[in-house]
Amino acid sequence: MIQRGGQVVINLMANVKQKTIEPFMKDTIVPGTLVYTDEYSIYARLQSWGYGHSSPYTFFLLNGDMELNRNR
């Protein structure tokens, strides 16, 4: 996670389930912050946890290569 003008926070998690990522996010991100993510379903509850949420980018594989689609 990165904040403009702030610090980068990286945490390699054993699993990425909502019950494990929620405490990490609540300990790291100020409530009310707009969080930008990909469209992974784990982020579906961000708004109910008190965060704004936007998924401006979608990543996908094309012929084995990672591609970026800007959702505008």
Q: What is the pLDDT of residue 54?
A: 83
User: Which is higher by pLDDT, 21 or 55?
Assistant: 21
User: Quick check: 48 pLDDT over 90?
Assistant: yes
From residue 7, give the alpha-carbon distance in Å to each of 1, 2, 28, 61: 8, 6, 11, 30
Max CA separation in the chain (angstroms): 39
Domain boundaries, the chain: 18-70
Q: What is the pLDDT of residue 59?
A: 56
Q: What is the pLDDT of residue 10?
A: 77
Q: What does pTM read for this prediction?
A: 0.64
The single-letter code of the amino acid at 70 is R
Q: How far apart are CA 71 and CA 44, in angstroms?
A: 17
Report yes or no: 51 and 32 within 8 Å, Cβ to Cβ: yes
Q: What is the pLDDT of residue 4?
A: 66
User: Which is higher by pLDDT, 29 or 9?
Assistant: 29
Whose structure tokens read 């930008």? 36
